[in-house]
Structure 1
């Protein structure tokens, strides 16, 4: 026999439901979730059919929660919290020198210093298995929320995270966006205005990536049009290779440039105004009480105490 609760308790449906509550917009919620709007609508209707009542009403273009929606919101949050707390409690009882640590890393981040640390950590604690996964922002947020990764490494601030209450942040490095150009630049020139950066064609990350989104906001705040891109790539290696082979300029993180500048045949300039942000660990608050996670952070701090992250960027080993 199939019960209606099977549909209600679908983790995917409940996650989509809670995301729609955060945005109160099918368009925005589906973009954050990385799905189509019809797919989101289908999941919401699936829950509504199971409970036998509408969860959302609409006045004009504005969504609101019905009484059934409010009750379902409370239930969905309780379910997620119960599962996550149970997982965290089990993990707290484990040894600090055994087990698994799963880390999600934003795919555009320069991660080789982190890899160097993982190699050193593995030498000290060979019975802790660390899984490093290169993910998109949507994938990271989904896996954080569902407790499928222990730690995330992302750029902040990130407006796609609406509820910070369950999470803590540990800064890794103050990063920024650099402009890479073919143009002959005087040696004493260290920065470029937004207006001048708009004169050449660009190659860029896709619009849903962090770097173009933060640049879009900076250009908008300064009333300058963001340059149009003649190509889009998901990897900084691809961006630089395309820019070097064409007459395009691009923008990448300062951390990536410092780690690979000997292999980059482009001139790097700061934007004026400078475009800065943090690279940070993000994790659920309960995670720091898990012995192996606490052990990981203790040795991370010792790793940086021996040599700073900034200094380590200067001599990462490229393969």
Structure 2
């Protein structure tokens, strides 16, 4: 409420400020300030203009923040999807370390199935995804993938005629009953491909949770199957089940997947680089078996 002080703050002369206020009042068609003696006050129109100006400045500030977040490596949000059948320990350890160095980056992590990850990546709702990507034509054609770790299927069986890590022919398990992932899950498709179309899995219990599959298999007579990466991390907690491999199965990659062009966003490009540096210090396999303190 002081023209002289306001002009000094703005770095202009008082007449210039007075002229700008008059132009604004002329454009609006109403006075913004009234005067009682030597004191200024806001008119009703002035109060409305102040509210509108504050909203406008807030919008401008938000836009500036968003643009800066887009162009900076240390500010903004990164959203990451994790396939629900992948052991997430290594990624979790990395994100904790990453957040220490980039505290102004907000992280959003979602555990999703294969189809939803692809949909969210395509709709730009995810920046990055950790998933199985081998043999998927959609990923090959539309996305970039960086292979992180070669995984493999492990059978957890109650059979007492096998030895730990033995390679068994698939026919030894054709008549077994399973606690298994849903039919559209990647690992379920992997084991079904090894068994062949004529030997459908007998699945009395279906669950999308690896942890639940293992627990229910332990507490029943049914076998189950998981990824080698999950077993390496949780071996100490898996009892009464023997881990074996299937002859004829194939390794599959855990990959970092993202839309082509995502590396044009500095913070995303930097996170990919930091993740690789993290794995260069100690590889994925070693980190899987690393015990938490």
TM bin, normalised by shorter chain, reads 0.7 to 0.9
TM-score (normalizing by structure 1): 0.67
Judge conservation of contact 2:156–2:223 (CA < 8 Å) in 1. Answer: yes
Q: Deviations over 1:153-177 (max 9, x none)?
A: 1112253x53633310011111011
1:183 aligns to what?
159
Partner of 2:217, secondary structure, is: helix
* TM-aligned CA distance change 1:188 to 1:268, over 3 Å: closer
Shift of 1:189: 6.2
2:169 aligns to what?
193
Match among 295, 306, 317 for residue 270 of structure 2? 295
Of 133-142 and 187-196, deviating more is: 187-196
Of 114-123 and 194-203, deviating more is: 194-203
Judge conservation of contact 1:185–1:267 (CA < 8 Å) in 2. Answer: no
Shift of 1:226: 3.2
Match among 210, 217, 221 for residue 236 of structure 1? 210
- In structure 2, C-alpha distance between the alignment counterparts of 1:235 and 1:247, rounded to whole Å: 18
- In structure 1, C-alpha distance between the alignment counterparts of 2:129 and 2:150, rounded to whole Å: 16
* TM-aligned CA distance change 1:243 to 1:142, over 3 Å: same
1:129 aligns with 2:106: yes
Shift of 1:278: 0.8
TM-score (normalizing by structure 2): 0.73
Q: Deviations over 1:28-70 (max 9, x none)?
A: xxxxxxxxxxxxxxxxxxxxxxxxxxxxxxxxxxxxxxxxxxx
* TM-aligned CA distance change 1:129 to 1:277, over 3 Å: same
Judge conservation of contact 1:113–1:316 (CA < 8 Å) in 2. Answer: no
Shift of 1:316: 4.5
- In structure 2, C-alpha distance between the alignment counterparts of 1:270 and 1:246, rounded to whole Å: 21
Match among 204, 227, 249 for residue 274 of structure 1? 249
- In structure 2, C-alpha distance between the alignment counterparts of 1:230 and 1:150, rounded to whole Å: 37
Q: Tell me the number of residue pairs that the alignment of Structure 1 and Structure 2 aligns.
A: 227
Give the unaligned 5+ runs of structure 2.
Answer: 1-65
RMSD: 2.1
1:305 aligns to what?
280
Judge conservation of contact 1:178–1:254 (CA < 8 Å) in 2. Answer: yes
Matches within 5 A, 1:142-161: 142-159=119-136, 161=137
Shift of 1:271: 0.8
2:7 aligns to what?
none
- In structure 2, C-alpha distance between the alignment counterparts of 1:188 and 1:112, rounded to whole Å: 24
Partner of 1:241, secondary structure, is: helix
Match among 173, 176, 179 for residue 149 of structure 2? 173
- In structure 1, C-alpha distance between the alignment counterparts of 2:185 and 2:69, rounded to whole Å: 34
Give the unaligned 5+ runs of structure 1.
Answer: 1-88
1:138 aligns with 2:115: yes
Matches within 5 A, 1:23-172: 93-159=70-136, 161-162=137-138, 164-172=140-148
Instruction: Flag the structure with larger Rg.
Output: 2
* TM-aligned CA distance change 1:210 to 1:157, over 3 Å: same
